[in-house]
Chain A
Amino acid sequence: MGKKRTDKELLVYLWNIVRLHLKEFYFVIILLLLNVAFGTIAPLFFRKALDLIQTNDISTTLKMILTPLVAYFLLMLVKWFWEVFQNIFKAKLNAQITKDLRVKAFNGLLENNLTFFDNSESGYLTSSLTNDINEMREAGQRFVDLFTSLFRLIITIGILLYFSPKLTLASVVFLPIFFIVVFSLRKYQRRVAKVWRKNFATVNQRFSETMRSIAISKSFAREKENIKKFTDLNEETYKSSIKRGFAIFIIGPINDFFRHMLLIIILAVGTIETYNGNLDVATFYLFIFLMDYYYYPLLSLARNYSRFQSLFVNLERLLDISENSDIKEINTSLKIAEKIQGEVEFKNVNFSYVEDTPVLKNISFHIKPGQRVALVGHTGSGKSTIAALIPRFYNIDDGKILIDGVKIQNYELKSLRFVIGLVSQRVLLFKGTIRENMLIGSENASDKDIWNALDAVQARDFIELLPHSLDFMVTEGGKNLSVGQRQMLSYARVLLGKPDIIILDEATSAVDLYTESKIQDSTELLLKGRTSIVIAHRLTTILNSDFIIVLEDGEIKQIGTHKDLMSQKGSYQEMYQLYFKTQSAKYLEKIKTAM
C-alpha cells in the first residue's frame, strides 16, 4: 500500500522526532564521545607503564611507573560514572522518542479514512503501534551505539596509526571485506524482517479476533478448529522468526572469524616487526589491547546494521498506515460549520465503496430545515450508506451533497461532523463508565444533562439498578449490557450532543414496541426544530415523518408523505401492507373481536 519510501525519507522522519529532544540528544552524544575518549586513552597509560617496565632502565623510578598506573585506575573509575550518565540520558531520549513515535503514529492513524479501516484489521494495526515500535526502541538504542562504534573506530585507528602505520594498515585490510559481507546481507535481512513482522501482527490480530468472537465460537464448538488454525499461523510465524534470526545471527560467526584473522595478522606482523626492531613490545601489545576497541565497534556496527534493517522495515510499515496521504481524510476547507439551519440536499449523488460496484445511483432529495424524513427500503438498499455520506465518512463519486446550501466538502470536516449526530446501526460502546461513554462527544455535559438524555431514551430505570449507576463500568464493546440497553445509550449520547442534524439508523431496532413508543414520545421535544433523518424497518417508527424516501437497490423509487405514498400503487404501499399484515393488523382485529 502506498508509495515506496526511501531510507532517507525514513531517517528524516526519525530525525524530525529526535530533533524535538535536541538537548538530550546532544547530551548523549557528548557523554558518549567523552566516554569513548576515556576508554581509548586509558590503555595508553597502560602501554606507558608496560614500556617503562619492559625496557627496565635504571633511571625508571617507582614513581614514574606508578603515575601512569594511577592515572589508568582513575580513568577507569571516571569512565564508569560517565557511562551511568550516558545510559540515563540515553534511556530518557529513547523513551521520549518512543512516546513521540507512538503518539504521532496513532494520531496519524486516526485521521485515516473509513475505506482504509473497512479494509484493515484492528489487531493487526495495533501490533504496528505496540510491538513494532518497541522493536524500534531497541533499534533506537543501537542507533546511539552506532555513533559510539564509529567514533571508537576512528579514534582507535588514529592512535594505532600514530604508533605504527604499517601494523595499522595490516589490521584494517579486512575492513572493506567485512563491510561488503555485512552490507550484502541487507536486502535479505529486510525481506525476512518484513515477513516476520507481518506474521507477528497477524498473531496479534488472531488473538483479537478470537477473543472478540469467543461467544460465537463456543456456540459453534469451534475451539478445536480455532486452535488448529492458530497453530498453523503460529508455526508459520515461528518459521519466519527463525529466518529472521538467521539473518541476524549469521553476522556473529563472520565477525568472530574476522576477529581471529585480525589477531593472527597483528600477531604475525607484530612479531616480524618487533624482530626487525621496528616495533617495541609495549606498542605491539597496545595493538592487541586496542584490538578489541577496534573489533568491538566493528561487531556492534555489523550487529546494529542488521537490527537497523528491522528499524527500517518497522518504520516503513508504520508510516504506511499512519502517514500515507492516499488513505487520509482530506480536509478541503477551513469553513467552520456553525449555527446550521439543517437543510440537507442530495443532488444526483453516485457512490460506490468498491470501484465498479455502484451502491447509490443518482440520488437526489431535499430536506428543509427542521424536517423529519424517513428513509425506508429493503435491506442492503443503501440507507446506511446515505447516512454515512452526510458526515462525509466517504467521498462521493459525483454529484453534490449540500448542507445549508454549501457543499459538504466546503466545510471543515470536524465541525461538519460536530453538527451532525449519527446513531449508527452498529452500536459500539467503549470500555469505561457509562458516564465516560456518554461524554465522548460532549465533554462538558453535566450529570443533569446526561440524565435528561437518558430519560429521553428510557434508560434511567436500568441504569439506576446497576451498581454505581452512572459509574458502572461498561466492558469492552459494551458486552455486559443487553443489546437494547446499548442501543439506548448510543441514542442518548447522540442526543446529549444536541446536534443540528440527527440521523437515526435503526436506533431502536432492538427495543420492544412499548419502550420504543415511549422513547418516541419523550424524544419528540428534543428532536423538535432539528432536522432528523430516520431509518427504520419498523414502519411504526416513521409514520409521522414529513416525507418518506423509498430506496430500492440504491435508487430512489418514491418520495412523498405517508398519505401520498399510500395512495400511489408502489413499493411503499406494498411494504406497508406487508409490514402490518405480518406485524399486527390482522391480529389486532382478532384481539378486538376477542374482547
Chain B
Amino acid sequence: MNSLKWVARLHLRYPFKTFYVLLGGMIEILLFLLPISITANVIEISIEGGGIANAKGQLWFLLGLAFVQAFLYFSVSFLNEVLAHRVTTDITQELFESLQYRSLTYHDSKDVGNIMARATGDTRTINIAISPAVRIIINITIVWIVAFIITLSIHYILALITVIVFIVFAITTSIYTKKILPLSVKTRENFAEISEVINSGLTGIREIKSFVATPWSKKKLLKTAIRYQKNVIKEETKSAWFYPIFVVTIYSALMIVLSLYFVYKGLFGIGIKEVILIAGFVSFLTGMSEEVQWTMWFLIRGKVSADRIYDIVSEKDPDAYKDGDLEFESKHATIEFKNVSFRYKNGLPYALRNISFKVEDLQTIAIVGPPGSGKSTITKLIQRLYLPTSGEILLSGKPISDYSNKSLRKNITTVEQDIFLFNLSVKDNIRYGKSNATDEEIVNVAKIAEAYDFILKLPNKFENLIGEGGVRLSGGQAQRLSIARALLLNPSILLMDDGASALDARTEVQIQKAISEILRTRTTVITTHRLAIIAKADLVIILENSKIVGLGTHEHLIRKNPYYRRLFEKHYELPALEAK
C-alpha cells in the first residue's frame, strides 16, 4: 500500500462526508456556472431591445440560485474542511500510536524534532491538500467538461479545440508535477531539520547558556534556515513557471477572438449572445485553471508529507517482538541469564558478552562496574526493553519472551538511572504507573521514598507542577519521586539502576531503612557504587568491558577478586573515623 491509498482509505471511514463533498462539490460548481448563461440571456434581451420586464424571470431565478448556491457552497467547503481535519487528526493519531508500540531499538534511531515536524508540520500540509486543494481540482475538471459541452453546442470545431487544449493542459501539468516533486521532498526534509535544530537548542538551553554557545546554536539554525529558504525558492520558482496555464491563456484569448471573428463574418450562425457566453466562460475557465498552479503544488506537498508520515507508520521494526501470553503470576521470581550477549545496534561494540548468572527468589543482587560496562543494559534486558542478541533470559524458569507484556510491566519496575519526570503535578508523576492509586497509597510511597517532607514544602504540595523533565526539582528530589513512582507498583522484581546516586547519606539511609522490608520480600537488582548496599546483597556481579569479571558474595569477592578490590582500594587511604 502506498501513502495515497492510505490517505484515501482514511477518508472512507467517513463515507457520508466524503460522498457529500465529492458530489456536492460537483453540483455546486455547476450551479456556480449557471449565472454565466443567464447573463448571456439577459444581455441578449437588451440586444434585442427588451426591457426589465422580459428579464424579470431570469433575475428572480438568479436570486433563488444565490441562496441555494451559497448554502451548497458553504456546506461543501466547510464539510470538506471538517473532513480534512478529521483525516489529519486520524493521521496524527495513527502516527502517535505507531510510535507507542515500537521497540526501543527503533526509537534509539529517531530524532524528536524530526518526528515533531512530521506530526504537526506534515499533517498540516496534508490538511491543506485535502481541503481545499482536492476540491478545487475536482471543480476545475468539471469546468473543463462544461466548457466542452458549451463549445460543442456552438460548433464542433470549438469543442475539438477545447478537448485538445485540455489534453495538452493535463499532460503538461503532470510533467510539471513530476519536476516539482523532488524539490518538495527536499523542502520537507529541510523543514524537519529546522525543527530538530530548534528543538535541540531549546532542550539544551542550560548547556548552551553555560557554555556561552548561543552563537554556535544560532549559527546552526541560520544554516538550516538558509538551506530551507534556498530550497523553497527553488521549489516556488519552478512552480511559478507553470507553463500549462500558458496553453490555457492562449486558448481563452483564441476562443474569444475566434468567436468575435465568426460573428463579424457571420459564420456558423454565432451571435453576440454566444460570444458573451464563450467569453464569460473561458475567462472563468482561465481563472480556475490558474488556481491549478498552487493547488497542484499543494497537492504535491501533501503527497510528500503523506509519504513522510506513512514512512514512519508503515516502517518495519525488525526488533519488534511478538508478545507472549504467559502471565507472570507469583510474587516470587527468579532471574536467569544464560550466555547472554547483546549489542544495541549492528556495528556497535557488544554491550554485554556471554553473561550468565542466576538470581534466586527474594534475593538481592548488586551489579557493579565502571561506566559503560553494561550494568544498565542488564536492567533493560530484564525489563525486556530489548531482546538479547544471543543467549537466553529466563524469568521464573520461563523464557522472557513467553510472557505477556502487560504482566511483565506490572511485575517488574525500575528506578531508572536516567530519570525522566513529566511536567505534571508531583502526584501524577508518582502515580504514573498506576493511575488509579489512592491518595493514601501515594502519600505512603512518598514517605517511604523520603519525598513527603519536601513535597509538603513545595508551594502547591502534591499538586505542584515540576517543569519539563522535572527541572524545577533538585537532583535528589527528582530521584526520590522516581523511587516513589516505582514503589507504588509493588512489583515482584524491583530494579534500581543507580537509584541513590543523587542522594546524601542520611536520606539514603532513611530510604534504605524504609525499603529494606520491601526488599526482603521481592527479587531486587541494584546497580550502585555504594559499598554498603553492595555488601548486603546476596550476590554481586562485577562487570568490566561488557563481561562478568567476578561473581559471588561480597565476602568472597573482597578476598579473591582483584577487580572488586580495586573498586574500593582507595578507601584504605581514607582517614579513619576520627571522632570515634
Contacts and interface: CB of A to CB of B under 8 A. Distances in A.
A215 interface: yes
Contacts of B454: 380
Interface string B67-79: 1011101100110
B85 interface: yes
A428 interface: yes
Using C-beta atoms within 8 Å of the partner chain, give the interface range for chain B.
Answer: 35 or more
Contacts of B109: 475
Given A214-B104, A267-B59, A510 B371 contact: yes
B344 A428 contact: no
Interface string B394-438: 000000000001101110111011101011000000001101000
Interface of A is mostly: helix
A84 B241 contact: yes
B439 interface: no
Nearest to A257: B70
Interface string A396-408: 0000000000000
Contact of A106 (B51, B81, B201): B201
B20 interface: no
B370 A493 contact: no
A525 interface: no
B149 interface: no
B570 A91 contact: no
Contacts of A237: 89
Contact of A227 (B100, B233, B349, B472): B100
Nearest to A122: B202
Contacts of B410: 221
B476 to A, nearest CB: 3
Using C-beta atoms within 8 Å of the partner chain, give the interface range for chain A.
Answer: 35 or more
A134 B63 contact: no
Interface stretch (B7-15, B161-169, B208-216): B208-216
A583 B204 contact: no
Residue among B115, B116, B469, B501 with the most chain A CB within 10 A? B116
A227 to B, nearest CB: 6
B532 interface: yes
Contacts of B276: 285, 288
B232 A119 contact: no
Interface string B93-132: 1001101111010011111110111011100100000010
A99 interface: yes
Residue among A69, A230, A267 with the most chain B CB within 10 A? A267
Contacts of A204: 116, 119-120
A575 B371 CA distance: 27
Contacts, number: 540
Contact of B272 (A46, A54, A242): A54
A30 interface: no
B161 to A, nearest CB: 15
B348 interface: yes
A246 B75 CA distance: 10
A509 B113 CA distance: 30
Interface stretch (A172-180, A248-256, A311-319): A248-256
Interface stretch (B136-144, B173-181, B253-261): B253-261
B279 A246 contact: no
B171 interface: no
Contacts of A272: 51-52
Interface stretch (A161-169, A366-374, A419-427): A419-427
Interface in B223-266: 225-226, 228-230, 232-233, 236-237, 239-242, 245-246, 249-250, 252-254, 256-257, 260-261, 263-264
A454 interface: no
A270 B412 CA distance: 84
Given A87-B240, A467-B348, A540 B202 contact: no
A578 B506 contact: yes
A506 B198 CA distance: 28
Interface in B531-551: 531-532, 535
Interface string A452-468: 00000000001001110
Interface stretch (B35-43, B152-160, B330-338): B35-43
5 contacts: A66-B261, A425-B475, A428-B203, A511-B371, A587-B532
Given A66-B261, A514-B568, 7 more contacts: A106-B221, A235-B89, A253-B74, A264-B59, A275-B51, A467-B349, A515-B371
